[in-house]
Every structure is written in structure tokens, then in C-alpha cells.
Structure 1
């Protein structure tokens, strides 16, 4: 690093505003300031999954229906839900969907879509 003046290291966001009006900077809303905005595609995929899971629930044995009920609270875009809890719920629902063949296929596709969207963050 010799010969280079001013060692500046930035971790996270570095925002410089010069003039203008109504500048809000980067609205990251680090907790506890508030949640990050939810990706609309993710929101739509989660809502679709919840709808499909509701249909699937009516077509599986009671034990599987109970497992779906246990997973539903974590099938959300609510950022208070831990990512590992969301992943566990997605895997549980996918596992149940896989046991019922064609009926569960739309649920498996919805889970894969959500996992793809989550992986892209």
C-alpha cells in the first residue's frame, strides 16, 4: 500500500449527498428502525404458495395437515421470521407435497420459485 495516500475502507453503504431537496439517502431501515421492502416477486410467490398449501392441506392425512399448520407461520415475508425458520417450513411443505404426487406438484414449483428468489438476495 506504499505510495497510496488516505486509506479509506468502507463497509456497508457509503452515501454522499450534495445539495438537492427531499433526499432520504439509502432507506436501509436497519433493525430496529423497520423492515426492508419486500421484493414484490417474492411477496407474490409466498402468497401463491400459501394459497396452494391451503388446497394441499385438504388432500393429505391429518398428520401432514398438522405439519402444514405448524409450518404456515414461517411461510411469510415477515422479516421477524428467521431465514432458517422460513427454510425449514419450505422444506417441510415441499416434503409433504412430494408425497402426494401430481397434487403436490404446484406446491413444489412454488417452493422452488421462492427458494430461487431468496437465493438471489
Structure 2
């Protein structure tokens, strides 16, 4: 079981050789394991596109915030968990964005909850969440 927290006080900068800050944001997909089964994962950040000299960063000059991940159950490594979360940030086919900050499953659950709270009939029935993706 994994908890994903979007709002936190962490920031990250990419450091190049000789301890200088890079002109580009940290790379999307970077993660740092912390203590007590927690880690930081950057779902935003610089992406090297094929045929491009400079990395693409859709947020432009903003410093990307990582997601704070907390494991409560399970012993899988952070690499697998982070790769799966990254894959889910690219699965929203209702947008032209290269990626989203949060995994599509969380976004869909939030949207579904918004719709269901306005209809008692919808709340009484179970639905497969993939119908709303």
C-alpha cells in the first residue's frame, strides 16, 4: 500500500559538476529514498525529447515539487513503485499534455467523487473506475 502526497515542503534542483545548479529543472522520474519507508518522486521535470538539444520542461521556470510517497505495506523497491507511478501520470488520454503531476487513477477517483456527490443514485452502484478514464 502506497500513499501519495502532493503538497509538501520539498523542492529539488539539479546540480551539475562542481556543485553548480543546472539551468534545467531536475529530471522527471528522479527519486530519493528517505527514512521510514518514504521517498520523493519528481513526476514533473526536465524530459529529453528525441532530436532536441535541450530538455523540455513544460512548467518553464518553476522549480518542480516532488510527490511524497509513503509505504505502509509491502517490500518492493522504490524503483518499481516510482516507475509505475510515472507510467500512470502519462495515461490520461483526455489531454494533450506530455504528463500530469498526479497518476491518472487518483485524478479519475477525484473526478468521480465530484460527480457522485451530486447524485444519490450513482452513489448506490459500484463502477469500474476505468470507465471514467
Query: Which TM bucket (shorter chain)?
Result: under 0.3
- Which TM-score applies when normalising by structure 2? 0.21
Would you tell me which structure has more helix in proportion to its own residues? 1
Would you tell me which structure has more strand in proportion to its own residues? 2
Larger radius of gyration: 1
- Which TM-score applies when normalising by structure 1? 0.22
